[in-house]
Amino acid sequence: MCIAQGMILLDNTIVNVALPSIQRELGVTPSNLEWIINAYVLALASLILPGGTLGDRFGRKRFFLIGLAIFTVFSAACALSRDDPQLIVFRALQGVGAAAMAPLTLSILVDAFPPERRTTAIGIWAGVSGLGFGAGPILGGLLIELFDWSAIFWVNIPLGVACFLLTVAAVQESRNPGARRLDPMGTLLASGGLFLVTFALIETNTHPWGSGYTLSLLGAGVAALVCFVLHERRVEHPMVPLGLFRSPQFSSANVVYALAYLALAGMFFFVTLYFQNVKGWSALQTGLSWIPLNLPFLLVSPFAGRFVRRFGTSWVSGGGILLGAVGTIGLAQLDVGSSYHAAWPCYLLIGFGYGFAVPAVSSAAMGAVPAAQSGVGSGILNSSRQVGAAVGLAVLGSISHAIVAGAWRLHIEALPGDVRTQAASLFPSVAGGEGRAVGALIGPEAASMAFESFVSGLHVALWVAGAAMVLGAAIAFVGLRGPRAAASAPVTGDPG
């Protein structure tokens, strides 16, 4: 179960450092680059709740092995992709496998260990999860340096095979005879609504916000989500028991989680493109540069429970989110000429902030959920995190795209007519930070203009991400107030 959870979280971060390599080798547009991340995250977010239910009803070991096989097979398919549409589809199918595995790793552990050993087992599971999340950028950078971008997917094959054999040999089958029934309509409405909203936001890169195309997609997505809420209120066995959201603490924790991961997903995406495309770093350099973010997280998160018991959930979670906001806004100050010395103090703040906040918010959410509904409560929280990352990246990408487009138009106004026409056609490269490619076609001065345009979009996107975190901190300070005893709920260091 540790191997499986580590693989799932490794795939959340290892792909980030490969984005510029994939961008160059497959000729990926900025919109499709976002989809390489979001296809996986959306599938995982949309299907994680039914994945847990299927395992409970039909056998956790059996369904876990099915999910693991899907994840491993489509990891190989991702590595063999020859264009971006193929890669996006296979990433989505990889996310389907992850959605089947993720909720069952913890269920299988709980069933396998007696209560007196369970906390230790879960602590080890959480620690390995954090290690997978933190090691992703470094391992990804090393693999790309030695091989190419496909290696970040090939690495899952030996891990998946080993995990499959160990599960067959060591895990006993278990199921819950009283498990909730499936909710196919709820799953369809939630998945469809999230997909349409995210698709509409990403499509604003090529269609105006006020166009009929964009508004119809957004309207259809919102309508599907409204129908999902109405359906869940009427159905006998809802996928998402809406009664849980009557708890201000549970509702606040989910909103805080979504805002925190909105910011984190955007930060990873834009800062990766900045250092590799603008500064010319290798993937390995980029991965190693995140050590000041990952190390504080891994050091602090196991002890977050102590801080919660001493200072209270709202102060630890709100203060942690606020530290992360300061770090994110600090990264919004990066310019074309900035050095790494401007970034690493911000990484430290983000690492410490999330190290405090993630376990505290998790504890607050689970402390507000009845024991009988702990599985579905955990699944909802996980979905909030993934939805926040997917929708957040789409929103921030759309904002950045609009800012870069305006800046690039201003820069190229002074160019001769034929060169200006060629420069306008190169906008996708500008939006992706590929200034050197632009400069190679229309001159070195254009490379400088392209970098400045890209960085202007990065500034605004990260300012918005920081503002979202400030809002999250305010919600945490107000909505997560409560007795410090609430911290007695399990606190894990799972960052992904």
Q: What's the one-letter identity of residue 288?
A: L
Looking at residue 309, its pLDDT comes to: 82
- Which range is least confidently modeled, 9-18, 120-129, 379-388, 393-402? 120-129
Closest CA to 20 of 262, 265, 199, 287: 287
Query: b/e for 288-308, b at 16 or more Cβ within 10 A?
Result: bbbebbbbbbbebbbebbebb
Please report which confidence band the pLDDT of residue 454 belongs to, taking 50, 70 and 90 as the band edges.
very high
SS3 label, residue 18: helix
Highest mean pLDDT (candidates 116-125, 255-264, 322-331): 322-331
- Which range is least confidently modeled, 46-50, 135-139, 290-294, 313-317? 46-50
Looking at residue 400, its pLDDT comes to: 92
Looking at residue 52, its pLDDT comes to: 75
Q: Looking at residue 177, what DSSP letter applies?
A: T
Q: What does the pLDDT average to over 304-308?
A: 80
How far apart are the C-alpha atoms of 136 and 292, rounded to whole Å? 14
Closest CA to 260 of 191, 355, 178: 355
Looking at residue 178, its pLDDT comes to: 65
Looking at residue 437, its pLDDT comes to: 86
Highest mean pLDDT (candidates 96-105, 220-229, 290-299, 465-474): 465-474
Q: What does the pLDDT average to over 137-154?
A: 89
The token pair at 22 is: 């994939």
Interval 404-452: pLDDT, tens: 999 999 988 877 778 888 888 888 889 888 888 888 888 888 889 999 9
Q: Looking at residue 244, what DSSP letter applies?
A: G
Please report which confidence band the pLDDT of residue 113 belongs to, taking 50, 70 and 90 as the band edges.
confident
The rounded percent of the chain whose pLDDT value lies above 70 is 93
Highest mean pLDDT (candidates 244-253, 257-266, 273-282, 325-334): 325-334
pLDDT at 460 over 90: yes
Q: What's the one-letter identity of residue 81?
A: S
Looking at residue 275, its pLDDT comes to: 94
Closest CA to 218 of 387, 44, 395, 382: 395
Question: What's the Cα-to-Cα distance from 104 to each of 32, 95, 186, 389, rounded to whole Å?
Answer: 31, 15, 20, 22
The rounded percent of the chain whose pLDDT value lies above 90 is 36
How far apart are the C-alpha atoms of 393 and 387, rounded to whole Å? 10
Looking at residue 491, its pLDDT comes to: 44
Looking at residue 494, its pLDDT comes to: 47
Give the largest CA-CA distance in the chain: 75
DSSP codes of every residue in 36-79: HHHHHHHHHHHHHHHHHHHHHHH-HHHHHHHHHHHHHHHHHHHH
Average pLDDT, the chain: 85
DSSP codes of every residue in 111-162: HHS-HHHHHHHHHHHHHHHHHHHHHHHHHHHHHHHHS-TTHHHHTHHHHHHH
Give the pTM: 0.83
Looking at residue 292, its pLDDT comes to: 92
Looking at residue 127, its pLDDT comes to: 65
Query: b/e for 221-255, b at 16 or more Cβ within 10 A?
Result: beebbebbeebbeeeeebbbbeebeebebbbbbbb
Between residues 350 and 180, the one the model is more confident about: 350
**How distant is the alpha carbon of residue 15 from its chain centre?**
11
Q: What's the one-letter identity of residue 138?
A: I
Q: What does the pLDDT average to over 13-23?
A: 86
Interval 45-92: pLDDT, tens: 778 778 777 887 788 899 999 999 999 999 999 999 999 999 999 999
Residue 416 backbone zone (phi > 0: left; psi -120 to 50: alpha; other: beta): beta
Looking at residue 235, its pLDDT comes to: 85
Q: What does the pLDDT average to over 340-367?
A: 89
Q: Which residue has the tokens 């059996």?
A: 62
Looking at residue 484, its pLDDT comes to: 45
How far apart are the C-alpha atoms of 434 and 441, rounded to whole Å? 12
How far apart are the C-alpha atoms of 356 and 317, rounded to whole Å? 6
Looking at residue 7, its pLDDT comes to: 86
How far apart are the C-alpha atoms of 119 and 193, rounded to whole Å? 37
Looking at residue 134, its pLDDT comes to: 67
Residue 491 backbone zone (phi > 0: left; psi -120 to 50: alpha; other: beta): beta
Please report which confidence band the pLDDT of residue 488 belongs to, taking 50, 70 and 90 as the band edges.
very low
DSSP codes of every residue in 317-371: HHHHHHHHHHHHHHHTT--TT--GGGTHHHHHHHHHHHHHHHHHHHHHHHHTS-G
How far apart are the C-alpha atoms of 160 and 261, rounded to whole Å? 27
Q: Are 457 and 404 in contact (CB under 8 A)?
A: yes
First to last CA, the chain: 15
Neighbours of 485 (CB within 10 A): 9
pLDDT at 379 over 80: no
Between residues 116 and 432, the one the model is more confident about: 432
Q: What does the pLDDT average to over 441-466?
A: 93
Neighbours of 131 (CB within 10 A): 17
